[in-house]
Amino acid sequence: MLGPIAIWDLFVTGILRGGMYALMAVGLSLVFGVMKIPHFAHGEFYMLGAYTAYFVYAVFRLPPLVAILSAAFTGLLAGVLAEKLMFSPLRRRHAEQWVLNTFLVTVGLSFVMQNAALALWGGQYRGITQYWHGSIQLFSGMHISVDRAISFIIAIFCIVGLWWFLDFTRMGKAIRAVAQDETGALLVGIDLDQIHTITFGLSSLMAAIAGASLLSLNPAYPTVGLAPLYKSWYVVVLVGLGNMAGAIPGGFIVGLLETFSYYAFGSGWQDVISLSILILILLFKPAGLFGSRVRNLSNA
Amino acid sequence: MLTVAQLESGYNHLQVLWDVSLKVMKGEMVALLGRNGAGKTTILRTIAGLLKPKAGRIDFMDRRIDGLPAHEVSRMRISFIPENLHLFPAMSVLDNLLLGAYSIQDPRKIKESLAFVHDIFPALAQRRRQLAGSLSGGEQRMLALGRGLMSQPELLLVDEPSLGLAPRMASTVFDTLGKLRLRGLTILLVEQNVHTTLQISDRSYVLEQGRIVLEGGSREFLENDHVCKTYLGSGDE
């Protein structure tokens, strides 16, 4: 029923979709792994990125890359502020019940940011048709818009960049150290406050880049972050909480899964299919697809 | 070098230490002895900044350090090697060591530290690419010691370095501590292995229920049967 060419086309679509899921999920995973925060305001940083890019590109008419970079900067700034104003004071005052408390804080933050966006910019969709014109034709005859291809490249670039940062820089190693053993990190002289701020800033930066580079697909509006939030949680739960390395293949798996179920069963069914698969996987592997018994950042 | 005065400390509402005062001179190896739950580990954790004291003060090289967060204490060249090690299991041996030198900026000094640690623990040099979590218990303990040495500390706080080790491994650890002392490090040691500890340390404090009940030269303790029986149990054999 499916020819090899159709499968190839679906595969490409799924991979393109998965790149952004991976980018969102890696940030979520980073925040959970390092700070133990179940982050439910991740989508609002995506939203912030989308709005920033919209204003810079469509209103001030600056080039697309400038728009995306400003979105990244706004995301970083907002993330650092959020950490300094909310999580850092909370940690100082009350470290017990941390996971539950921070969960509630992020839900609250999500409401506040959504409604602030609604109050500031209204409920209408603010989108663009595209950043870059044209499309690329693959050998199979399939067309991919340049926009889509570049947003994919941006996602890959960010993920590889983050990887390099975590693996090869002193600060990145300190971040992984905190994720693996907080007391050990303190004992070697790592300042936890600083690491937490950087981690949250980085994660927000990546969400904002995702929001900015997908602006032509998803116009900015106050609740635009919800879908990417759910998708990234889906990825993170699928591969195992806090498993940063797993979030990347996880993003692609979810992208492919959705594309194929969309093709096979129609648009109404894609979430049903992918969530059913998630339930099945968790039934047999409760710690997630790549989860080990001990939650850690192995190979991260 | 280190002066602890009238220290009271503990966990949340449970006070463990009462009026603890002790001194460690430069170049000395001082042991804290006492039964389980006497508060030995609590003293080390409080000095290291992992616990905030409720009262009293701690001075290190003419600076007051009580109440400082642990990462700042560590940057003052005090290294705490805890009983449960707190290594970074999913990182390589080398990365664990390099993180030990986190507060050192100068790459030449880091290299120097690494050479020093590799010299003391050649096994860590051989296994530098291996993940810390995959090492044996004894090797992990060496790695923790090595990581603690990477910051070129003046004072080493060592908690139960022989715990869970086979006797031969344990004596290697003690030999190493002796060597470190010869190289000029000051060591405050907590150990269950009373006889060995008394043999290698200069002075000892005996703790009972969170108070210091006895202090003196380790050699005198060793020769005093009464002390051994009353405060330390009848030895470790």
Residue B59's DSSP bridge partners are: B3, B64
Question: Residue B13, class by beta-carbon neighbours within 10 Å (0-12 exposed, 13-18 middle, 19+ buried)?
Answer: exposed
CB contact under 8 Å between B95 and A173, yes or no, is yes
Say whether residue B52 is in contact with chain A using an 8 A CB cutoff. no
**What's the predicted TM-score (pTM) here?**
0.91
Identify the weakest region by mean pLDDT among A153-162, A282-291, B113-122: A282-291
A256 has pLDDT over 80:
yes
| pLDDT bucket at A264, cuts 50 / 70 / 90 | confident
Share of chain B above pLDDT 90, in %: 70
Q: Checking DSSP bridges between strand B78-81 and strand B155-159, what pairing results, if any?
A: parallel
How many Å apart are CA B177 and CA A130, to the nearest integer? Answer: 67
pLDDT at residue A60, rounded to an integer: 94
In chain A, which residues have their Cβ closer than 8 Å to the Cβ of B74?
186-189
Q: Which of residues 104-163 of B touch A (CB under 8 A)?
A: 147-148, 150-151
Of A48 and A5, the structure prediction assigns the larger pLDDT to A48
- What mean pLDDT, rounded, does chain A reach? 91
Which of A180, A189, A192 lies nearest to residue B90, judging by beta carbons?
A: A180
Q: Please give the sequence-ordered ranges of beta strands (E in DSSP) within chain A, or none if there are none.
A: 135-137, 143-145
Which of B49, B102, B147 lies nearest to residue A190, judging by beta carbons?
A: B102
How many Å apart are CA A78 and CA A85, to the nearest integer? Answer: 10
The predicted-structure confidence for A192-227, as pLDDT tens digits, reads as follows 999 999 999 999 999 999 999 999 999 999 999 999
pLDDT at residue B98, rounded to an integer: 96
CB contact under 8 Å between B102 and A300, yes or no, is no
Which of B74, B85, B90 lies nearest to residue A188, judging by beta carbons?
A: B74
How many Å apart are CA B122 and CA B186, to the nearest integer? Answer: 22
Residues B193 and B162: beta-carbon distance below 8 Å: yes
Residue B212 CB coordination number (10 Å): 22
- Assembly ipTM: 0.92
CA distances from A137 to A11, A14, A113, A146 (A): 15, 17, 40, 10
The predicted-structure confidence for A144-193, as pLDDT tens digits, reads as follows 999 999 999 999 999 999 999 999 999 999 999 999 999 999 999 999 99
Nearest residue of A to residue B70, measured between CA atoms: A186
The rounded Cα B187 to chain-centroid distance in angstroms is 7
The predicted-structure confidence for B154-200, as pLDDT tens digits, reads as follows 999 999 998 888 888 888 889 999 999 998 999 999 988 888 888 89
Residue A2 CB coordination number (10 Å): 12
pLDDT at residue A293, rounded to an integer: 47
The predicted-structure confidence for B54-83, as pLDDT tens digits, reads as follows 999 999 999 999 989 999 999 999 999 999
